[in-house]
Amino acid sequence: MLVKEYAADVNLSVAEILKKCKELSINVKNGDDILSDDDIIMLDNMINLISTDDEITYEEEDSIDETVDELLSTRSAYSKEMNNAVTKQKLKKKDASSTKNEFNILKKQMYKHKNKLMKNKNDENTVLYKNNMTVKDLSEVLEISSSEIIKKLIALGLMMNINESISFENAEIIALDYGKTLKREETQDVVNFEEYEIIDNEEDLMPRPPIVTIMGHVDHGKTTLLDYIRSSHVVDKEFGGITQHIGAYQIEYEKNKITFIDTPGHEAFTEMRARGASITDIVIIIVAADDGVKPQTKEAVDHAKSAGVPIVVAVNKIDKPDANIDKVYTEMAEVGITPESWGGDTPFINISAHTGEGISLLLETILTISEMHELKANPNRYAIGAVIESRLDKNVGGVASFLIQNGTLRIGDPIVVGSSYAKVRTMKNDLGISIVEAGPSTPVEITGLTENPSAGDKFMAFETEVEAKKIAEKRKVFIKLNENKKQAISLDDLFSRIDAGNKEINIILKADVRGSEEAVKNSLEKITTKNVAIKVIRSGIGAITESDVILANASNAIIVGFNVVATNSAKDVAKDYNIEIRNYTIIYKLVEDMEAAINGMLDPEYVEKIIGNAEIRQIFKFSKVGNIAGSYITSGLIKNNALARVIRDGIVIASDDKILSLQRGKDSVKEVKKGFECGITLENYKDIREGDIIEAYEMEVKEHGKS
């Protein structure tokens, strides 16, 4: 019998059984090790379910009556209702070979009865700690006078009165003095399990494999590295290696498992994080030694930093003749990732995903970081985790790849994902092998879903289908009510966020040139009003992109553009996510606005409303009026006398201008809509070129605090 099977039989955690095995010098180390019959008898004796004088065997010649009598006698203290003539007579009729099965069933029931009795006994000495509990509240639940409690607190060096809140830690010390155990009140709403904080007892936690994501520039060898690692270190090589792709896989290195998430890129990584699926323990940034740091590399670094997880840099392609490792180290240091060999805190591992050089050191580094962070989970609870990928199959319906973060998922478990519930019908690992259960950090593919969830959706398993259905129904209402309630991340509400305890404001900065970027970044980071830190989590040059908006969404950041604008796709995504984009052309105005917002004194602002865009397709020169832009309206409409700016390659080259006239043929018109051509004359800027974009806008007054 496996350790974990025995633990389930006796209704104890694997950790408790392993502890008892250690005391009995039974040589087992984890739940998958095997217990001999002698081991089981010793464990039974220790737990006092069978007295040391009992010698129960299952041989045919043994007396069935004697076995049953002894068993029922032992059980009677815990379950009187089971000790009856019907049960006894039923067992007597069984042959010797079936007695063992009956014995195991009854033994399991006996464990449960004993644990229930012990739990009831323990409950008598357990008191509940509620949030914001005062000294007076504690005295009442302990049934001790307030004056005595205060004396105890003074002895601990705490001068408190009866109306002051007492922390759980201090209350726990007081409770122990009176032979009581303090338990936190369960106040979490399981309906919103995206934000559900799992609290496990320390003794229930077991080490789990680290979960690793590899990110970097598209051509720097991520796929090659993943393929090499998997083909060399698959857990079950006898099954023929790679058989399917489920968005994640698990390898084994030096008897330790590592789970890799195969996401499409850093934006998908951050999308999952924004949806509540913060599933990565370690991020590997891969950089090609023959190419160096690229824009995608910098973006990957920003996303990894924002996630707040350990980073390892894998310098790939060192076997190439034009490899320049020092260049990679220098360029990574310039983006804030300093190698350990240079006095920094980030491991840099030189590798070749083609030859395998350095891969072992990379895996060893992952395991070392994992050990340092003591990654643990509780396998003896219902599973909770995240969706990696999903699809609809015409034969089996909904198919999804799950990553279990905590607990164990089993065949038949009722689960809730999104706002739907289902039962796990089948389950396969990353090698396509059917399995009946999967523990923490394990990627699996399951069937049985009634709907197609999105990558990053959280899932949770429940004890019964009735409970799962009830939670799913509540979630439908919860999700519908919250669909349009996402709080806009804006400069206006900084003051309320700061007063609520948020002392760090995240900013994503995009500027027209490197000099402006550095100047604005330095000015922002010098702001220390109200002891609030401005943290620029990403800065760069060029137009504001979808990647910037996605990062802002996951990091609760405000996007600031200096002499640049957002792409149309970025504007659409920002609108969906309710992310504010602030545009500036003067540094001191940007700094003033930030300081005023932090102090809660932001004046009513003029909000820019884009009304249309026109692409210049031909320039007409006239001596009397200057250059006229022969344009095609690509979106919205262009109005005569509207404010305008000129954009070239995503950079604002002229701002605060005005449309002086609009012409259709020989006629002057007030406005021109999308899909039509017209001639546009600007009031000030004359150096227009073919391909430039004229963006027309109006200024609307928005009161402070309004979104």
Could you give the residue ranges of the DSSP H alpha helices within 168-218?
A: 168-177
pLDDT of residue 551: 86
Amino acid at 192: N
- Interior angle at CA 286, CA 283 and CA 292, nearest 5: 140
Which pLDDT score is estimated for 91? 45
Question: Which tokens go with 447?
Answer: 């069937």
Q: Do the bridges between strand 504-511 and strand 533-541 make them parallel or antiparallel, or are there none, so unpaired?
A: parallel
pLDDT above 60 (res 61)? no
Buried b (16+ CB within 10 A) or exposed e, 365-402: bbbebbeeeebebbbbbbbbbbbbbbeeeeeeebbbbb
Helices (H) and strands (E) in the chain, counts: 20, 31
User: Is the four-CA dihedral 475, 192, 490, 707 of positive or negative sign?
Assistant: positive
Name which of 15-29, 88-102, 343-357, 376-390 the model is least confident about: 88-102
The secondary structure element, H or E, covering residue 388 is: strand 384-393
> Residues 549, 489: contact at Cβ < 8 Å?
no
Sign of the C-alpha dihedral computed for residues 613, 616, 621 and 627 taken in this order: positive
Greatest CA separation found in the chain? Answer: 119
**CA-closest candidate to residue 233, choices 248, 220, 252, 256:** 252
| Contact status, residue 378 vs residue 405, Cβ threshold 8 Å | no
The Cα 560–Cα 694 span in angstroms is 21
Place 320 in a pLDDT band, splitting at 50, 70 and 90: very high
613-627 tens-digit pLDDT: 999 999 988 877 778
pLDDT band at 588, cuts 50/70/90? confident
- Please give the Cα distance from 353 to 387 (Å, whole number): 28
Nearest to 291 by CA among 313, 317, 319, 330: 317
Give the whole-angstrom CA distance, residue 138 versus residue 129: 8
279-306 burial, b at 16+ Cβ within 10 Å, e below that, comes to: bbbbbbbbbbbbbbbbebbbbbbbbbbb
Q: Quick one: pLDDT band at residue 355, thresholds 50, 70, 90?
A: very high
375 is written with which tokens? 């990654």
One-character DSSP codes across 253-294: ETTEEEEEE--S-HHHHHHHHHTT----SEEEEEEETTT---
The closest alpha carbon to 589, from 538, 532, 506, 523, belongs to 523
- Percent of the chain beyond pLDDT 70? 76
Element (H, E) at 616: strand 605-622
Report how far residue 318's alpha carbon sits from residue 287's, in angstroms, rounded to the nearest whole number.
10
DSSP calls for 207-253: E---EEEEEE-TTSSHHHHHHHHHHHHBS-GGGTS-----SEEEEEE
Q: What is the pLDDT of residues 217-244, one digit of tens each?
A: 888 888 889 888 888 765 444 333 443 5
pLDDT band, residue 158 (cuts 50/70/90): confident
Show the tokens assigned to 601: 């004194």
489 DSSP assignment: B
**Which tokens in the block code for residue 550?**
């996605």
DSSP secondary structure of 676-696 = -EEEEEESS-----TT-EEEE
**What is residue 579's predicted lDDT score, i.e. its pLDDT?**
85
- List the end-to-end C-alpha distance of the chain, in Å, as a whole number: 62
- How far is the C-alpha of 665 from the C-alpha of 669, rounded, in Å? 10
Report DSSP state, residue 380: S
Pairing relationship of beta strands 311-316 and 348-350 according to DSSP bridges:
parallel
Q: Do the strands 533-541 and 414-417 form a parallel or antiparallel pair, or are they unpaired? A: unpaired
What are 288's two structure tokens? 């090609």
Find the helix or strand (DSSP H, E) in which 121 lies. helix 96-123
Q: Which residues of 210-219 are buried (b: 16+ CB within 10 A; e: fewer)?
A: bbbbbbbbee
- In angstroms, the CA 419 to CA 275 distance is 14
Among 508, 514, 469, 475, which residue's Cα sits nearest to residue 489? Answer: 508
pLDDT value at 38 more than 80: no
Question: What value does the mean pLDDT take over residues 78-98?
Answer: 42
Predicted confidence (pLDDT) per residue in 421-478, tens digit:
889 999 998 888 889 999 999 999 998 888 888 877 889 998 888 888 888 888 877 7
- Distance (Å, whole) CA 69 – CA 35: 26
Could you tell me which residue, 183 or 51, shows the higher pLDDT?
Answer: 183
Beta-bridge partner residues of 421: 416
pLDDT in tens, 626-679: 789 999 999 999 999 999 999 998 889 998 899 999 998 888 899 999 999 999
Mean of the pLDDT values across residues 101-122? 46
d(CA 575, CA 486): 11
pLDDT of residue 108: 46
**23 versus 658: which is more confidently predicted?**
658
**pLDDT confidence of residue 492:** 60
Whether residue 639 contacts residue 696, with contact meaning beta carbons closer than 8 Å, is answered with yes
Q: What is the mean pLDDT of residues 573-583?
A: 84
- What single-letter DSSP state applies at residue 38? H
The CA distance from 128 to 121, in Å, is: 15
